C-alpha cells in the first residue's frame, strides 16, 4: 500500500493529484518560507526538514500568535539555533507535547545539543506551554522543577 506521511505532499498533490519530486517540492516550500514569510534560510531549512510541507502550519500559528500578541510567535527560542517559539505552541496544540522535556528533548532537541541553553530557555518553554495547555502557575512551576 502506498501512502504519504503528513507533511510529505503538497496541497496541489492532495487536491489535484499532481505529484512533484520531493526535493523540488521542499525547495519550493523553503523558498516560500524565506521570501514570502521572511524567515531566515537556516530556520526555513530546519522547518522543512522537521515538518515537511506542514511547516506552513507552524509558521501560520506563529503569525496568528503575533497578531494576537500571544506567546509562540515565529521568533527564535534562542539566537544560536533555528528553533521557533511557534514550534513549542504547535507541538503543545497538535503533537501531544505535554511536558517541557517533550519539547526540549524531542520536538526542538536543544537538550541534546546544549544542556546549558536548554536550562536557559526552559522558563520560556514552560510559559508558552502553560498558555497553550492552560496550566495554573503552580503546574507551570512544578513542570519547570521536574524538567
Q: What is the pLDDT of residues 117-128, one digit of tens each?
A: 999 999 999 999
pLDDT at 23: 66
- Cβ atoms within 10 A of the Cβ of 80, count? 10
Residue 2 domain-assigned (yes or no): no
Cα–Cα nearest to 116, from 80, 66, 73: 80
Q: Are the C-beta atoms of residues 62 and 89 closer than 8 Å to each other?
A: yes
- Confirm whether 6 is domain-assigned: no
Report if residue 3 sits inside a domain: no
Q: Is residue 4 part of a domain?
A: no
Confirm whether 5 is domain-assigned: no
Q: 66: closest CA among 74, 56, 58? A: 74
In this prediction the pTM is 0.82
Residue 131: inside a domain, yes or no?
Answer: yes
76: β partners: 84
Which range of residues forms the domain containing residue 52? 11-146
Specify the number of domains making up the chain.
1
CATH number of the domain enclosing 47: 1.10.8
pLDDT digits (tens, 9 = 90+) for 71-104: 999 999 999 999 999 999 999 999 999 999 999 9
DSSP letter (8 states) at residue 1: -
Q: Does residue 1 lie within any of the structural domains?
A: no
How does pLDDT run across 20-34, given as a tens digit for each residue? 566 666 778 888 899
Amino acid at each position: 500500500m502506498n501512502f504519504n506521511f503528513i507533511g510529505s505532499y503538497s496541497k496541489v498533490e492532495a487536491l489535484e493529484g499532481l505529484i512533484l519530486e520531493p526535493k523540488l517540492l521542499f525547495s519550493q516550500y523553503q523558498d516560500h518560507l524565506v521570501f514570502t514569510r521572511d524567515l531566515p534560510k537556516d530556520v526555513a531549512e530546519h522547518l522543512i526538514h522537521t515538518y515537511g510541507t506542514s511547516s506552513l502550519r507552524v509558521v501560520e500559528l506563529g503569525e496568528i500568535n503575533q497578531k494576537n500578541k500571544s506567546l509562540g510567535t515565529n521568533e527564535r527560542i534562542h539566537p544560536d539555533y533555528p528553533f521557533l517559539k511557534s514550534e513549542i505552541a504547535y507541538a503543545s496544540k497538535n503533537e501531544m507535547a505535554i511536558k517541557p522535556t517533550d519539547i526540549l528533548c524531542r520536538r526542538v532537541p536543544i537538550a541534546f545539543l546544549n544542556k546549558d541553553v536548554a536550562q536557559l530557555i526552559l522558563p520560556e518553554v514552560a510559559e508558552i506551554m502553560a498558555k497553550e495547555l492552560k496550566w495554573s502557575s503552580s503546574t507551570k512551576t512544578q513542570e519547570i522543577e521536574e524538567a
